[in-house]
Chain A
């Protein structure tokens, strides 16, 4: 069964860069959201398995999304994809429930390694 992926970033260019970096043989359906509010709306509609989440976004940022998801019984895997590469940012998002942190610019090999580590890709 295909995996439902939600890509959240305020930059359409960044979403495109991430989607291109996903393994071509990964059976997925992709939805996109341009900010945290759109992301939560998509998530609440159900069926989202994996969220690729940017941190710095207008309106509602990635930290707020993580906080909300945790309050609402997080039921999907969140992988943070961010240009904010401070150690502290990585530690924070992991403490807030993200399973992994991928630095921008996104490296396809790193994405693949994360997906394999969590059994999302065989």
Chain B
């Protein structure tokens, strides 16, 4: 069930700002992986907290998936969750020549590293455009090779309602797909709205 929590102008500005952040994240992982990264058009929606697990499961698709979570704090506050679809980890390991270690800790470390690059570049870019201070917690593994429905539990989400921003990264000729989702609780959205209004006034 979608609830309107930001205005059309704010949504339009946020979409373009996220687009720029995503571009920076895409360029960062393109450099790390040495591959062309395909970017999606960012999707923004307001979701009830209890709908978040289902929304994330839908993004993850049909196979087992993994997810990494990283909190962001400061003027912009919320949680970034990076979902990796099935075989993405082994695809990454192959690209980065990790060889046979793909099922072990090395593979999990790889997901944390890639998430860190994506989240840092994307949210860093967004914060810069909004002239907002932002900090990040260390990334942690939320789910490792689980069914999409088990990626995140509803009770771990504190907010009643959240703003969900989603971007997708893919690699040409490879199965790697990841979704970067930003969840901002309702009470953090007010600060975002103020920052967006400042941004809109500037242009």
Q: Residues on A close to B: CB < 8 A?
A: 10-14, 16-17, 20, 56-58, 82-89, 103-105
Contact = CB atoms under 8 A, between A and B. Distances in A.
A89 B172 CA distance: 13
Interface of B: 9, 12-13, 15-16, 19-20, 22-24, 26-27, 30, 36-37, 39-41, 129, 200, 203
Contact of B20 (A20, A86, A87, A105): A105
B20 A83 contact: yes
A83 B203 contact: no
A104 B19 contact: yes
A89 B23 CA distance: 11
Contact of B23 (A10, A11, A82, A88): A82
B16 A17 contact: yes
B50 to A, nearest CB: 29
B29 to A, nearest CB: 9
Given A58-B41, A85-B27, 11 more contacts: A11-B19, A12-B12, A13-B12, A13-B15, A17-B16, A56-B19, A83-B20, A83-B22, A86-B37, A88-B30, A104-B16
A104 B20 contact: yes
Given A12-B12, A17-B203, A58-B41, A88 B36 contact: yes
A12 to B, nearest CB: 6
A44 B42 CA distance: 29
A20 B22 CA distance: 23
Given A11-B15, A14-B16, A83-B20, A20 B203 contact: yes
Contact of A83 (B9, B23, B36, B37): B23
Contacts of A85: 23-24, 26-27
B16 A11 contact: yes
A56 B41 contact: yes
B203 A86 contact: no
A92 to B, nearest CB: 8
B12 A86 contact: no
Nearest to A103: B23
A83 B26 CA distance: 9
A11 to B, nearest CB: 4
The 9 closest A-B pairs by CB, nearest first: A83-B23, A83-B20, A11-B16, A13-B16, A86-B30, A88-B36, A13-B12, A83-B19, A14-B16
A105 B53 CA distance: 33
Given A86-B36, A88-B30, A104-B20, A13 B13 contact: yes
A76 B89 CA distance: 44
Nearest to B200: A13
B22 to A, nearest CB: 7
A80 to B, nearest CB: 12
A34 B6 CA distance: 22
B23 A84 contact: yes
11 contacts: A11-B12, A11-B16, A13-B15, A13-B200, A13-B203, A56-B39, A58-B41, A84-B39, A85-B23, A85-B26, A104-B16
